[in-house]
Chain A
């Protein structure tokens, strides 16, 4: 087994095990690198690009870039913050996100990222796409208006549930998550206990009848900014 490597994030020395990504190493060192498509237990995907950092001055996705000895990583510089704000705003305007009546409000990672980055309204014009809702399944519904195409459900269903319920179809602006049936989720073998259902960072895949079990105002991000659990050393790992 090869040696641990040492590199810096915003001047702080960080150690990484061989093969670890910048994002994983940062997390161990209680440094939060914002992310949306990345989720522990899932293969890195590198699609949202919110975890973009500068590595020796060059932009790289922290979730896919392996840590290497002597790297100089910038996570909180003005440039990186600007990129991230722009990306978060792009995600807001390309979908139809109405936080005020979304049942995911307060535990939505996209909303929480916007709060963390001080975004109150996007500078980009809304695109108002027409997207489908699929409420056919008895326990689960899909609202594609809120989908950010992070692919967590795709990866979780394939790699954790062994089911391949979800997959991307079409391309570009028309890219969307489809289900493994001619049209409806109810025609697949999706189950409310699937990991894929838990993994959605936004309100695109939700369980029916439990939306308000935790009242608005008492939800995780109503009180603490996203990422604070990592900065306080209570990573997702230690919570489980």
Chain B
């Protein structure tokens, strides 16, 4: 075993040129091959990559999909986001647990199975879902979960679980997935026909500055959520001094409730790669990296194949499309289960083979990004828009949407609605119109923009979805009558606590404190003073956190406090003088009661 490990690590590191910045790939390979990255493995990797052992441990311990302890041959990861829980994930989890005879976080004694929870895997439109190694299973029930375990016990091959294919390219032999695209509405930008290679050829006929001007004229803003003007980002990167520049595509779609990039990558990978190539031409880069979240590993072979075909056709490689001197190629970097890597500087850290801690800004990636070089990081959908803009011209793109938000937006709609899925809509659509479209008219609240977004109340359903009003990276979660919105907020906080990198004080400690007080209120032990306490704490976290994760993590609490305050007020009450509401007298005396063998007499608070 140890000989096998040593030769495997040697071979893997050698294939990657003993490049320390490729540590993610090395660790991932070892994890997949041996089911863990042991002490011995970390020592070997450190030696082969000429780094320190603790640097390897810092990476291994950071990502949820890496483990120092031995994992089962088959790892079942049940998605535990809010939407999956609403769809019955807990029943599914119970069935898995009973059938396997192990609890969550455990590995079976025979070393065959591990069972875990995992945050949103981008399947909210077909929840409850789970990852079984790289295979995605959706629309689970308790019965189906039991059946899956029994079947796996027979062959131990998750790929054999695929018995019917989802629509579109999910049926492609290299995807081979049961996932459904659920494209409910096709719009004029993303889900409309294009001519392969036309956008690149048109771009290459222009100067890089003209390409940037076209993107600026289209007023294209980043689709990941922050909405930064894309052309400006490119211009900064082009102008930044540096011999080497890079284009990174952020396909780390981790915001709970988002799954539109999954559909783009399944159906329109060429449009993404074309967008990256155009970006490379515009800023003067020769290398692009698609950072693909670990949860979407099932798409990797398909995407690699798409890249190979592009190389064969001259759409990538040396002298792209015959343009002398323009060389551009793309590699795929796999993530390994870390939401924070969707933050652009954390994504860069991860691509560099480090833990996914965000970097300080300034310097911004446009000045100093990947490997210290000027770097553009764009969202998958943004790059698709680029391709369309170059193909049809900025004027056509600007025909859709509003003045401040041109073009269309993909929405990933899930939760309490009859038609969950992906919708391409022009910016400016109201929430009411959106709910009607998705069959969620009886919503009591809509979470716009994922866990880090805002909880929108019915009185605001007339508001418009666009950058200047209700901004969203695409996640829309609908909550119908009877849903407990405070528990939803608490679940979101749990998510942020788990996914915080822990670098800065407010995000690391503050979110834990926020959840403690929220849960106290939910348990009926809150007092009125807890509401300003939450607001003050939330404001501090937002204002002082180091990156976007912490700067938005209090939003579920702050926006429910603002928009659904009566829910909180109904749960908190003043206590008699001198009694602290969180103090449970009964619990405090129970140990003594057990010793003396009788109940104590006390006054009810």
Cross-chain contact A149 with B508 (CB below 8 angstroms): yes
Cross-chain contact B503 with A47 (CB below 8 angstroms): yes
Whether A145 is near chain B, meaning CB under 8 Å from some CB there, is no
Whether B17 is near chain A, meaning CB under 8 Å from some CB there, is no
Cross-chain contact A61 with B540 (CB below 8 angstroms): no
Cross-chain contact A93 with B509 (CB below 8 angstroms): yes
Cross-chain contact A94 with B509 (CB below 8 angstroms): yes
Stretch at the interface among A10-18, A69-77, A165-173, A203-211: A165-173
Cross-chain contact B513 with A66 (CB below 8 angstroms): no
Whether B537 is near chain A, meaning CB under 8 Å from some CB there, is yes
Whether B546 is near chain A, meaning CB under 8 Å from some CB there, is yes
Whether A219 is near chain B, meaning CB under 8 Å from some CB there, is no
Known A47-B505, A83-B544, A168-B355; judge A90-B55 contact (CB<8 A): no
Cross-chain contact A171 with B544 (CB below 8 angstroms): no
Q: Which residues in B have their C-beta under 8 angstroms from that of A171?
A: 61-62, 338, 340, 355, 499-502
Cross-chain contact A173 with B544 (CB below 8 angstroms): no
A47 CA / B501 CA spacing, docked (Å) = 11
Cross-chain contact B54 with A61 (CB below 8 angstroms): no
Cross-chain contact B360 with A46 (CB below 8 angstroms): yes
Whether B497 is near chain A, meaning CB under 8 Å from some CB there, is yes
Known A47-B503, A149-B508; judge A167-B52 contact (CB<8 A): yes
Q: Which residues in A have their C-beta under 8 angstroms from that of B157?
A: none
Stretch at the interface among A131-139, A177-185, A222-230: A177-185
A56-69 to B contact mask, C-beta < 8 Å, 1/0: 00010100111000
Q: Which residues in B have their C-beta under 8 angstroms from that of A46?
A: 360, 504, 546
Residues of chain A in range 53-107 having any CB-CB distance to chain B below 8 Å: 59, 61, 64-66, 82-83, 86-87, 90-91, 93-94
Nearest neighbor of B510 in chain A, beta-carbon distance: A90
The total of chain B residues at the interface (CB under 8 A) is: 42
Cross-chain contact A90 with B498 (CB below 8 angstroms): no
Whether B39 is near chain A, meaning CB under 8 Å from some CB there, is yes
Whether A118 is near chain B, meaning CB under 8 Å from some CB there, is no
A181 CA / B540 CA spacing, docked (Å) = 37
Known A47-B546, A87-B544; judge A167-B506 contact (CB<8 A): no
A121-159 to B contact mask, C-beta < 8 Å, 1/0: 001110100000000000000000000110000000000
Cross-chain contact A66 with B61 (CB below 8 angstroms): no
Nearest neighbor of A178 in chain B, beta-carbon distance: B54
Known A49-B546, A83-B544; judge A167-B502 contact (CB<8 A): no
> What is the minimal beta-carbon distance from B56 to any residue of chain A, in angstroms?
10
> What is the minimal beta-carbon distance from A64 to any residue of chain B, in angstroms?
4
Cross-chain contact B61 with A64 (CB below 8 angstroms): no
**B contact face: mostly helix, strand, loop, or mixed:** helix
Which of B55, B497, B509, B543 sits near A59, CB closer than 8 Å?
Answer: B543
Cross-chain contact A47 with B497 (CB below 8 angstroms): no
Whether A48 is near chain B, meaning CB under 8 Å from some CB there, is yes
A175 CA / B55 CA spacing, docked (Å) = 14
> What is the minimal beta-carbon distance from B37 to any residue of chain A, in angstroms?
12
Cross-chain contact A175 with B502 (CB below 8 angstroms): yes
Cross-chain contact A49 with B506 (CB below 8 angstroms): yes
Residues of chain A in range 160-219 having any CB-CB distance to chain B below 8 Å: 164-175, 178-182
Cross-chain contact B362 with A66 (CB below 8 angstroms): yes
Known A124-B513, A167-B55, A178-B54; judge A83-B500 contact (CB<8 A): no
Whether A44 is near chain B, meaning CB under 8 Å from some CB there, is yes
Nearest neighbor of B359 in chain A, beta-carbon distance: A46
Whether A52 is near chain B, meaning CB under 8 Å from some CB there, is yes
> What is the minimal beta-carbon distance from B343 to any residue of chain A, in angstroms?
13
Whether B53 is near chain A, meaning CB under 8 Å from some CB there, is yes
Q: Which residues in B have their C-beta under 8 angstroms from that of A91?
A: 505, 509
A212 CA / B543 CA spacing, docked (Å) = 40
Cross-chain contact B360 with A64 (CB below 8 angstroms): yes
> What is the minimal beta-carbon distance from B355 to any residue of chain A, in angstroms?
7
Cross-chain contact B508 with A175 (CB below 8 angstroms): yes
Which of A47, A83, A124, A164 sits near B543, CB closer than 8 Å?
Answer: A83
Cross-chain contact A180 with B52 (CB below 8 angstroms): yes
> What is the minimal beta-carbon distance from B545 to any residue of chain A, in angstroms?
7
Greatest chain B CB density within 10 A among A164, A165, A168, A182 is at A168
> What is the minimal beta-carbon distance from B145 to any residue of chain A, in angstroms?
29
Nearest neighbor of A124 in chain B, beta-carbon distance: B513
Residues of chain A in range 15-55 having any CB-CB distance to chain B below 8 Å: 44-50, 52
Chain A to chain B: the 10 pairs with minimum beta-carbon distance, closest first: A175-B502, A180-B54, A90-B509, A94-B509, A167-B54, A59-B543, A172-B500, A164-B52, A169-B61, A49-B544
Task: Give B residues with C-beta under 8 Å from A.
Answer: 39, 43, 52-55, 57-58, 61-62, 338, 340, 355, 357, 360-362, 497-506, 508-510, 512-513, 516, 533, 536-537, 540, 543-546, 582
Task: Give A residues with C-beta under 8 Å from B.
Answer: 44-50, 52, 59, 61, 64-66, 82-83, 86-87, 90-91, 93-94, 123-125, 127, 148-149, 164-175, 178-182
Question: Given A49-B504, A171-B499, A180-B52, 13 other A-B contacts at CB below 8 A?
Answer: A46-B546, A48-B505, A49-B544, A64-B360, A82-B536, A86-B506, A167-B54, A167-B58, A168-B58, A169-B58, A171-B502, A173-B509, A173-B512
